Structure 1
Amino acid sequence: MPSGGEFDLIARYFSRPAPSGMLGVGDDCALLSPAQGCELAVSTDMLIEGRHFFPNTDPGLLGHKALAVNLSDLAAMGARPLACTLAISLPCIDEVWLQAFADGFHALSRESRCPLVGGDTTGGSSGVVLSITVMGEVRRHHALRRDAARAGDDIWVSGTLGAADVALRLVQGRLPPDPARLQAALPFLERPVPRLKLGRYLAGVAHAAIDISDGLLQDLGHILDASQCAAELWLDALPADPVLDGLPEDVRRDALLAGGDVYELCFTAHPRRREQIEILGRQLGLPVSRIGEIRRGSGVRVLDAGGQALTVEHQGFDHFAESV
């Protein structure tokens, strides 16, 4: 263990200078100052070894993903990152592991301009446990809330769907070995890209948004519940990632509708915003696909190419019933 124990560990791996105007690591609390006219957006996610990531996960990739999945929540609110905190429980001190984890974490922290300003470290008896809190700012009354979808809205999704789910199935042996497919799919699972720019540009344009962490149907369902409305999805309009090509239809459909770890944005907007959203996607170099409509009522109907409703059993990831 490094000399000095916990505080030397923090200083060695997690202390970085705070930006001007902030008080960061080294005091009882961090101090932040959101811009005038903005609201503070705050989100916390926990990642547990064995449930959310494999014990042999590359620590550098884990450092990136741990922060990325939290930044994705800020993107879904249309917020600009301000800072983050990290609480980490470790079964033992492995300096090589810690250095790689810290490098991955701080690389994305710098890229996203979301400095680490505090947190906690402790020893634990089992595997690694990570808890990250991100803080951001969004212009007052411009946040993309889940309860803001309206009947008649288009439903959109960014990027492609299904690749992370395919990677997980291959790693777990739930699909026949396919090295080429795994190589193409694995980056989607291990190194997600939070859609921060898209989220910020959608603030004031879209009505409601959510990031797809637990599956399209499940996460869209959160919007529908909060907004008290229904949805119609068009299966053929879902942007399937090319790594799904050649897979059995039931696997492909489940990956598209229920596959988690996507971290793309699902959002709703008035039809008059279609051209604006398409232009925005081209400007960002990011595909955006119109995949359905918000309706009055409740629940989701998934329609095939002939307009027939499909029966869908698996809705998405259950954090209490499933693990990696």
Structure 2
Amino acid sequence: MNEFDVIKTFFKESRFFTNPHKIFKCKSFVGIGDDASVFSPPKGFDLVVSSDLLIEGTHFRSDHTPESIGHKVLAVNLSDIAAMGAEPLCFTLSVNMPKFDSNWLYGFCDGIFNIANETSCKLIGGDTVKSKENAPMFFGITVIGIVPSGKALKRKSMKLNDDIWISGALGDPGEAIKNNFFCEKLLTPQPRLALGKKLLEIANSAIDVSDGLSSDLSHLLEESSKNLKKKIFASIDFLSVASCLGPCLFTNYLKNKLSLDECCSLAVSSGDEYELCFSARKGLRKTIKSLSLELNLPLTRIGEVICERESEKIPGFNIKKNIIWKNTKGLPLKPENYPPDGFKHF
């Protein structure tokens, strides 16, 4: 089977059903089968573009099911779209495989097109490549979304005194990677698209937690400090983090395998979470709690944004760190006991 047969068999629209945006029904639209895709964005919207590369051995294992790999390849990019408050529109997919396996590829396509259909995200192009034998598989994907013009959520827009919130539960994907056990959230993450769109009118800033809260929250603070032209800090309470521990970590606490503080430290450094961390003004607490009920999704307030003068009053303050962690007794941790950073790309 050559490249064009692969595209026709596995990736043409006859193999799957989608409910794409109306712009893809225009006569001017050009999709799979040409040198490039052509479409016009809807009026009054900005385009939001996110790209990721997922590599065997780093982002997934060869013994993971092809369905779960297909799901994750698209889901992690959709999580970036969610963090911007955007709605997914379409995506491109580049596939690199050392050998052709039709059964595996059917499973992969089932995984990726199931979530594409659920989110009305249309495949508009890509590439297929056969690599050398024994080379790792990898998938390159670019997702394009839309957001009302000028409304996108950004990392740089934190405000002093904002509350800091996290969606869902934390910790189990990191534990699953470390201890090699099954974790549905690790294999088939659920991008928080509905939450992201709702946050457009609520949040000041947002980021998706892919590398670990300890790293990703730091990125929010760094970008917002540049924007404000003064350094800001986050004060994070482990007692609040404890209320959003994943089931595995919480079970370890109940069985006295780990202290509550140890569980919280692991939770905030766990990667592959694909939850949203966001900041919002204190006056919106009731609104956010109502939103949590509406979406049937836990939204937990875990801390606040403080200024440098306020942070200096905290014992053990370290100017080199922009997050101050407080244990479950409300006491600040010493810098040497801070949670580790999350996933490092280099």
**Distance across 2 between alignment mates of 1:167 and 1:237:** 23
Alignment partner, residue 305 of structure 1: 328
Alignment partner, residue 210 of structure 1: 207
User: Is this contact kept in 1: 2:214–2:339, CA < 8 A?
Assistant: no
* TM alignment of 1:123-202, pairs within 5 A: 123-125=130-132, 126-171=135-180, 182-183=181-182, 186-202=183-199
Alignment partner, residue 265 of structure 1: 276
User: Is this contact kept in 1: 2:88–2:143, CA < 8 A?
Assistant: yes
Q: Secondary structure at the match of 2:129?
A: strand
User: Is this contact kept in 1: 2:269–2:339, CA < 8 A?
Assistant: no
Alignment partner, residue 106 of structure 1: 113
* TM alignment of 1:1-324, pairs within 5 A: 2=1, 5-16=2-13, 19-21=24-26, 22-125=29-132, 126-171=135-180, 182-183=181-182, 186-228=183-225, 229-238=232-241, 239-244=244-249, 245-246=251-252, 247-249=257-259, 252-297=263-308, 299-310=322-333, 311-320=337-346
**Distance across 2 between alignment mates of 1:66 and 1:255:** 25
Q: Secondary structure at the match of 2:25?
A: coil
Runs of 4+ that moved beyond 6 A: none
Q: What TM-score do you get using the length of structure 2 for normalisation?
A: 0.85
Q: Secondary structure at the match of 2:30?
A: coil
Encode CA deviations 1:174-203: one digit per residue, 9 max, x unaligned.
xxxxxxxx45xx101101000000000101
**Distance across 1 between alignment mates of 2:205 and 2:123:** 28
**Alignment RMSD:** 1.5
* Paired letter, 1:12: T
Deviates more, 1:30-39 or 1:47-56: 30-39
**Distance across 2 between alignment mates of 1:209 and 1:166:** 25
User: Is this contact kept in 1: 2:266–2:339, CA < 8 A?
Assistant: no
Structure 1 residue 30, shift from structure 2 partner: 1.4
**Distance across 2 between alignment mates of 1:9 and 1:25:** 12
Q: What TM-score do you get using the length of structure 1 for normalisation?
A: 0.91
**Distance across 2 between alignment mates of 1:165 and 1:259:** 4
Q: Which runs of 5+ in 2 are unaligned?
A: 15-19, 226-231, 309-320
Alignment partner, residue 314 of structure 2: none
User: Is this contact kept in 1: 2:239–2:330, CA < 8 A?
Assistant: no
Encode CA deviations 1:50-103: one digit per residue, 9 max, x unaligned.
111112111110000110000000000000000000011111111111110011
Encode CA deviations 1:202-229: one digit per residue, 9 max, x unaligned.
0121011011000001001110010012
User: Is this contact kept in 1: 2:239–2:329, CA < 8 A?
Assistant: no
Percent identity (aligned)? 40
Encode CA deviations 1:86-125: one digit per residue, 9 max, x unaligned.
0111111111111100110001000011011101111112
Structure 1 residue 33, shift from structure 2 partner: 2.7
Q: Secondary structure at the match of 1:290?
A: strand
**Distance across 2 between alignment mates of 1:39 and 1:277:** 26
Q: Which runs of 5+ in 1 are unaligned?
A: 172-181
